[in-house]
């Protein structure tokens, strides 16, 4: 499942390609026909990203009407294909035929995208979108995130911090790779009770997650190495070289073994030597 950096990168790229344009919407697959009719021939105003959720907002057709949103959650199999409708010289390009079961096709003046296999693709109002976002936790990529509110939840929870990191109602946008590698970077064992973290440990973890996600948006991939976190040269590492402990055999810090077990329904990876189970 795409982690939060992918969703924010999509929002950024689609905003650049389509915002301000009147779009044509259709559902080649036929499962979103009514929804496509609701947003067809409207101007795309903005795209909102929160955790693993996207919402495309379209202008009202009449001034007294409220905006209409298209809420998307990619889930495990959702995938976008972005099509440029002009070449580098500004000459028009033909839009390709839909590939596979395309839930929705959005066509603007200079670009288009197809969406296949999302977990959710639905029409929302501002009120129903607020209901969705009220169930989501803090997203460090959003300007309105509230670390103090998050600390209050973490500091009073008996849940294991490794499980809590995957709870989207607490940490929005954090997936399994960021969970494993951020905890390793902060020397925190996944099985520690959340409330056992000191304020300094929490602040370090929150900042580490934020930096990792921001790198992911910028580079359009996950890179969690020390060099990346310290702002050094990253280069073009392979997938294995770009990660710390996720699906690794050896710890990059002590060269000891990485252990793995199931936590919150996913395989978690940690170094028992570097990540203490006991608070100081």
Out of 266, 272, 277, 279, which one is annotated catalytic? 266
Cβ(163)–Cβ(266) under 8 Å? Answer: no
Check if 230 is active-site: no
Task: Confirm whether 63 is a catalytic residue.
Answer: no
Separation in Å, CA 272 to CA 189, 227, 233, 259: 8, 22, 29, 7
Query: Is residue 266 annotated as part of the catalytic site, yes or no?
Result: yes
Q: How far apart are CA 224 and CA 237, in angstroms?
A: 11
Give the whole-angstrom CA distance, residue 234 versus residue 27: 41
Q: Answer for the pair 145, 181: CB distance below 8 angstroms, yes or no.
A: no
Question: Which is catalytic among the residues 2, 28, 190, 252?
Answer: 2
Can you count the helices (H) and strands (E) in the chain?
9, 10
Q: Which of 3, 138, 160, 201 is catalytic?
A: 3
> Which of 9, 42, 52, 192 is the catalytic position?
52
3 is catalytic: yes
Q: Is 231 exposed, middle or buried (0-12, 13-18, 19+ CB in 10 A)?
A: exposed
Residue positions annotated with a catalytic role: 2-3, 52, 266
């Amino acid at each position: 499942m795409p982690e939060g950096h992918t969703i924010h990168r999509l929002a950024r790229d689609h905003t650049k390609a389509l915002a301000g344009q009147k779009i044509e919407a259709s559902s080649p697959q036929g499962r979103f026909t009514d929804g496509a009719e609701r947003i067809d021939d409207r101007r795309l105003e903005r795209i909102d990203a929160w955790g693993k959720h996207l919402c495309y907002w379209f202008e009202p057709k009449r001034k007294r009407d409220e905006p209409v949103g298209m809420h998307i959650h990619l889930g495990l199999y959702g995938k976008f294909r972005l099509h440029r409708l002009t070449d580098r010289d500004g000459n028009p390009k033909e839009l390709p035929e839909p590939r596979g079961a395309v839930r929705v096709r959005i066509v603007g003046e200079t670009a288009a995208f197809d969406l296949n296999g999302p977990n959710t693709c639905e029409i929302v109002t501002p009120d129903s979108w607020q209901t969705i976002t009220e169930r989501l936790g803090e997203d460090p990529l959003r300007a309105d995130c509230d670390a103090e509110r998050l600390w209050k939840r973490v500091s009073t929870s008996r849940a294991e911090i490794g499980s809590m990191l995957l709870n989207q109602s607490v940490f929005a946008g954090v997936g399994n790779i960021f969970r494993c590698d951020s905890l390793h970077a902060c020397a925190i064992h996944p099985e520690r009770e959340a409330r056992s973290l000191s304020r300094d440990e929490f602040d370090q973890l929150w900042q580490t997650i934020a930096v990792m996600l921001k790198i992911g948006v910028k580079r359009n991939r996950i890179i969690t190495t020390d060099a990346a976190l310290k702002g050094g040269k990253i280069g073009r590492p392979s997938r294995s070289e770009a990660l710390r402990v996720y699906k690794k055999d050896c710890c990059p810090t002590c060269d000891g073994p990485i252990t793995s077990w199931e936590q919150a329904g996913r395989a978690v990876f940690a170094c028992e030597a570097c990540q203490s189970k006991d608070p100081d």
